[in-house]
Amino acid sequence: EDESGAVFYKKAPQDHISGALQLGITHSVGSHTVDRDVLLQDFEVIETIVFPKAGTTLTPHHTFDDFRFKSYAPLAFRYFRDIFNISTEDFLHSIGARSLIPIGNPGASGSCFWITHDDEFIVKTVQQKEASFLTKLLPAYFMAVHQNPKTLLPKFYGLFNINIGGHNIRVCVMNNLLPRRVKMHQKYDLKGSTFKRKASKSEREKKSPTLKDLDFVDFLPDGIKLEFEYYEALKHTIQADTRLLHSFKIMDYSLLLGIHNETVEAESRDKEEKKSIDSEARDRSKHISLNPTTLQNILAKSARPERFQIAADPWGGIPATNSSGDKLKIYLGIIDILQCYKTMKKIEHAWKAIIYDGRTVSVHRPGFYKKRFEGFLFGTVFRNLPMTESLRRLNEK
């Protein structure tokens, strides 16, 4: 940050980066018309477009510095978007129709985050080793989501690099997990570890702080109660996801959890004399999310019992309760998965090396991480309502 309050990343003003990104993405994704099945080679394609300030016959003129734009595996990423039913038109509208909105990052890594105007996508700067790891991960990732789109892993919709002012800035585009239009009464980034897992004082003073494991145990010692079916569906999904992460020796990921408290919300609304409930309700029912919602991510599309639909809201939060009996909707997903135990060294080889090279990698640590993560989530954070109670509640509805 400089004296005027402008934010810089690698010496480039943040709004120039996002502006150049929008231009690059719109141009590169929009001009991609090849339509065929994805081949393994497509994962290695890198497309480069040069954007001089004055424009060329192919690129428009612009007000940023000259920049070079690279799009990684464009065809493979288009296929990912297809799997999740995100059309190129919708994607480009989300990314390009209005300025990207910078959001502060509570993390320590110093990456920049932006969110699209419609709440759908997050753009995050990643380090070089994370970007190169993602390209190695792509084929396996592709196979996994192709087999099973029911996942809480981040949905990567694009990986790009802009070279501006002599610096490489790499970003990935992914799904936003916490719709800003739903008030999150609490927000947690959970790892299952206790070491340094308490939000800093300055973080806690923010309007919408991101709290951590020790804060969770403080505020919600009895955890979050889920009906049996949701608990099981969530557990199965997370187990499958962490199995994939483990197979790549990935560690240090988190569960991002947003809690909307309907009971508290209704009380504060009563005080405000039910201000504009109608228009809000109308807004909500109109909402059709491009990205699969939390509920869709944990429930099989084929066998969706009717009761799940009754409980569902347009934002797709999972119904839950706290120990005081407040009604909650929770929104969640796994984030920050690009740290591989091995990237702490260096990846020279393809994805095979990551999976099969057991000698140079301690397989112990990622496995320990997974176990501790699941143990914390399904022992401390989420509690299973006994089947009988959950059926009883169901009958009361």
Which of the choices ligand ATP, Ca ion, none does residue 245 contact, using the CB cut-off of 5 to 8 A by kind? none
The answer to whether residues 231 and 382 touch, using CB atoms and an 8 Å cutoff, is yes
Task: Check residue 29 for interaction with ligand ATP (CB under 6 A).
Answer: no
Residues of the chain by 3-state class (helix, strand, coil), percent to 5: 40, 20, 40
Pairing of strands 382-384, 224-226: parallel
Tell me which residues in 184-203 interact with ligand ATP (CB under 6 A): 189
DSSP lists the bridge partners of residue 167 as 164
For ligand ATP, the binding residue among 14, 59, 88, 105 (CB under 6 A) is: 105
Rounded Cα distance between 330 and 346, Å, is 38
What strands, in cross-sheet order, belong to the sheet with 113-115? Answer: 46-51, 67-72, 156-164, 167-175, 121-126, 113-115, 101-103
3-state secondary structure of 343: coil
Q: State the binding string over 30-69 for ligand ATP (x if CB under 6 A, else -).
A: ----------------------------------------
Judged by beta carbon, residue 199 or residue 354, the one nearer ligand ATP is 199
Which of the choices Ca ion, ligand ATP, none does residue 210 contact, using the CB cut-off of 5 to 8 A by kind? ligand ATP
CB of 126 to ligand ATP, least distance (A): 8
The answer to whether residues 103 and 23 touch, using CB atoms and an 8 Å cutoff, is no
Task: Check residue 213 for interaction with Ca ion (CB under 5 A).
Answer: no
Task: Check residue 174 for interaction with ligand ATP (CB under 6 A).
Answer: yes
Nearest residue to 317 (alpha-carbon basis) of 301, 286, 293, 300: 293
Q: Looking at beta carbons, which residue is closest to ligand ATP?
A: 107
Q: Which stretch binds Ca ion (CB under 5 A): 104-112, 216-224, 372-380, 385-393?
A: 104-112
Task: Check residue 361 for interaction with ligand ATP (CB under 6 A).
Answer: no
Can you point out the beta strands (E) in 104-145?
A: 113-115, 121-126
- CB within 8 Å of 35: residues ≥ 6 apart: none
CB of 192 to Ca ion, least distance (A): 13
For ligand ATP, the binding residue among 12, 256, 295, 377 (CB under 6 A) is: 256
Alpha-carbon Rg for the chain, nearest whole angstrom, is 22
Q: State the binding string over 326-365 for Ca ion (x if CB under 5 A, else -).
A: ----------x-----------------------------
Rounded Cα distance between 225 and 382, Å, is 6
Task: Check residue 245 for interaction with ligand ATP (CB under 6 A).
Answer: no
Judged by beta carbon, residue 78 or residue 370, the one nearer Ca ion is 370
Tell me which residues in 106-165 interact with Ca ion (CB under 5 A): 109
Residue written as token pair 């494991």: 213
Task: Check residue 120 for interaction with ligand ATP (CB under 6 A).
Answer: no
Rounded Cα distance between 129 and 135, Å, is 10
Site for Ca ion, rule CB under 5 A: 109, 336
Residues that bind ligand ATP (CB under 6 A): 105-109, 111, 113, 122, 154, 174-178, 189, 210, 254, 256, 335-336
